Structure 1
Amino acid sequence: MKKVLDWVGGKINDFTGETEREQLVSELKALHKAYMSNITDIIDTTNNRIQSYNDTIRKLNGFRKNKVSLTISSLYRFLSKFGNVFQTKLFAAESGKEEIILPEKIFESKTKYIEDNDWEKKEYIKKILFKTVFGARMEIRKKNQVLRETLGQYRLEIASTESQARLIQEKVATDIRISKIYESNIRMIDDVIEEKIIPELELIDAFMEAEAIKNVIIAKRELQNIPVNRKITLLNGTLHEKHYRFIRNAFLFYQIGKKIYDTPVLTRLLHEETSERDLIEVEKHTEALQEQSRMLNNASILEGQDGGASRDC
């Protein structure tokens, strides 16, 4: 008897559209659950990367403000002895990124919609009792049409939202790559100035002072208030031309480093939409710094190169 009743009930459900409604609601539930899980994972992963990025920026800001600013200022003071040079601007901090907010309201709205259409068995029976099988059929089939449309629209919304979220995730990953290159550039500026340029400029400055003293002694003048001529062009074409070339390249390195230091590069670059172009931009900064560092090596006395070294300028 139970089998017969189940068979009859199944036929009625098929006729009224209740079977299809249950399938549509079940499919909508599964889709909604998978979407909430996927988008939550994507956003959590992205926010973890953003936190890592922001930590890097905070540390980098501290390094730029407390260390690199002093190093560049020191180079500025040295270069000012040999010619006109623009001082660095006030420190401009890099900005962090805001974390992504989970679309809770969208989840809640869709969850409520599913609950409203996921009625219990007794509610279905009431519809049949009060509206007859034919009345229930008309109502449920209209409901199913809306559910099918909602299901299709929701699939499109999910695909679009997940695609946008993944694009953001990829952009953050690219931004992190950019930040690491930028951090490397800033540290290169600091290292080259501190370890390569300043010691060499100290040597050149001492050499010029010694030359001035030597000239005074040769001229048999008093060794008081000795003027030191630091016009570097006087060294060009002499045995001490490497000093001229080193100072010239130190000026160029200062200009490149100053531009990178003065400008909040990451904030400016990362507000653009095309991160690949941004990546190329900071890579160009790296190439410029490396090339200028190479030129400094070629003109350096402390690097141990002899007078026959390359005369690149």
Structure 2
Amino acid sequence: MSKLYILLSIAVLFCLERIYFKIANHYNIIDKPNHRSSHSNVTIRGGGVIFSLAALLFFLVFGFQYPYFIVGLLLISVISFIDDVVTLNNKIRLGVHLIAVGLLFFQWGLFGLAWYWIPVAAIFVIGTINAYNFMDGINGITGGYSFAAIASLFYINEEIVAFTSSELLIIVGLSLLVFNFFNFRKRAKCFAGDVGSVSIAFILVFFIGQLILATGNFSYILLLLVYGLDAVFTIGFRVLRKENIFEAHRSHFYQYLANQKKWSHLVISLLYVVLQLFANAVLLFVAKDSALIAISLTVFSAICFLLVRFYVEGKGVLLKNKADF
């Protein structure tokens, strides 16, 4: 991809984002803070629509590649955008999500493999999408973390093993840069919304799935290690506290740092990005194809994360239900 094309892509994506802002302002597509929010200002919701628009732009310009993935992405993005505007019935949203996941599997060629890979892949895809959606709560975290993942995937594609289109990786990365310009700041101009968090999760899952299928190396799941640790342990603590894990909450570690400790959103987001980049470096340059090192990285990271949470939040916060106090 030439430098001129990159500059033109940035300009187009920037204009598309600005056009969306005008539409969102006109139709009052905004996010108003509530008791679960980690922000205090009324902000445009759905700025993450730019991720899907970038993928669509790639599809139209580069010969209609990955059609089933693109259709699945558009379906899951549209239903998420509608859910950003008006609350949808869970059955409708779930139905569309399942169709999108099915199209993703078809793009991967998963239906040609042994049947047991379907439920394994479904857990990975649906779990990642939901974790990404739950982790989207402070300025910069979705855009910054996702850009780190895309940058790592681009390096793998260029230097280690070619598994996907570099052009698609680049244009998604550019859309993240544009989004971060408006979101990675003290007072964000826009939030990703469900359309943003769900669509970028769907895109990253597509890339990681391609990579795993091309190499047979499941360790590449660790490209999302930090998000995974926060999501999995938060669910675990909520189960121990006998809370309904399907109800909205502010129990993630990043939320505790933002709301109780009053850390800057951007500092927290950068912390998550740096930790994930460090994990990626270990995965790519130390672990390589060693499953033992990858497992050791996971266990060591999990222990460190637990110790930090207990030290910062305390046993009472993590293990006791509010009703026990």
Q: Normalised by the shorter chain, which TM-score bucket? A: under 0.3
Greater fraction of residues in helix:
1
The TM-score normalised by the length of structure 1 is 0.27
The structure whose RCO (Cα within 8 Å, separation 6+) is larger is 1
